[in-house]
């Protein structure tokens, strides 16, 4: 990965489109070093990718806020409930929830609750790994 990044930085071009594409690739490759997480996005869509890159610097904190929201829930949350409770728009909340699910911090409980529209919605809740993550983040020691 370092070699790819180094090669990209060596490329010189007068073509603005190519230069922009290279700069975007460099930004994406350097993101893990900066502690950023690229939010879920549609890789085939340039606007979705651009939005994810713009969102990346604050995405980790938003995902943490969603994780803490689950910790304060007694019976899990549907996406609609989480959005209302945390006062987040769906386009901010859902990518965080997807990332938490992909990281194994929350899971589909198998339960469903009705949305305001009367449709069934997945109830998500913390996994043991999610609880442990918050527990350790709080500075508490695990003793077995």
pLDDT per residue as tens, the chain (144 positions): 678 778 878 888 777 777 777 777 776 666 554 445 567 677 777 887 777 777 666 677 888 899 999 999 999 999 999 999 999 999 889 989 998 998 899 999 999 999 999 999 999 999 999 988 887 776 665 554
**Residues 115/80, Cβ–Cβ less than 8 Å:** yes
Dihedrals phi, psi of 4, to nearest 5 degrees: -60, -45
What pLDDT score does 140 carry? 61
Contact residues for 114 (Cβ-Cβ < 8 A; gap 6+): 120, 121
**Residues 53/24, Cβ–Cβ less than 8 Å:** yes
- Pair of tokens at residue 102: 């992909």
Length of the chain: 144
What pLDDT score does 14 carry? 77
What pLDDT score does 111 carry? 97
- Cα(139)–Cα(141) distance, integer angstroms: 6
Which pTM was predicted?
0.65
What pLDDT score does 92 carry? 87
The helix/strand/coil state of 52 is helix
Quick one: fold of 58-137?
Arc Repressor Mutant, subunit A (1.10.10)
- Pair of tokens at residue 112: 């469903």
What pLDDT score does 75 carry? 94
**Residues 86/98, Cβ–Cβ less than 8 Å:** no
């Amino acid at each position: 990965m370092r070699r790819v990044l180094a090669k990209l930085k060596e490329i010189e071009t007068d073509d603005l489109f190519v230069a922009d594409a290279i700069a975007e690739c460099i930004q994406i490759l350097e993101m893990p070093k900066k502690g950023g997480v690229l939010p879920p996005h549609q890789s085939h869509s340039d606007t979705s990718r651009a939005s994810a890159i713009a969102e990346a610097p604050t995405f980790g904190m938003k995902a943490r806020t969603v994780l803490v929201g689950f910790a304060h829930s007694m019976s899990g949350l549907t996406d609609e409930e989480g959005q209302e409770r945390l006062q987040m728009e769906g386009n901010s909340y859902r990518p965080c929830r997807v990332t938490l699910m992909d990281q194994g911090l929350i899971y589909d409980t198998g339960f469903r609750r009705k949305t305001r529209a009367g449709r069934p919605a997945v109830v998500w809740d913390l996994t043991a790994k999610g609880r442990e993550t918050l527990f350790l983040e709080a500075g508490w020691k695990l003793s077995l």
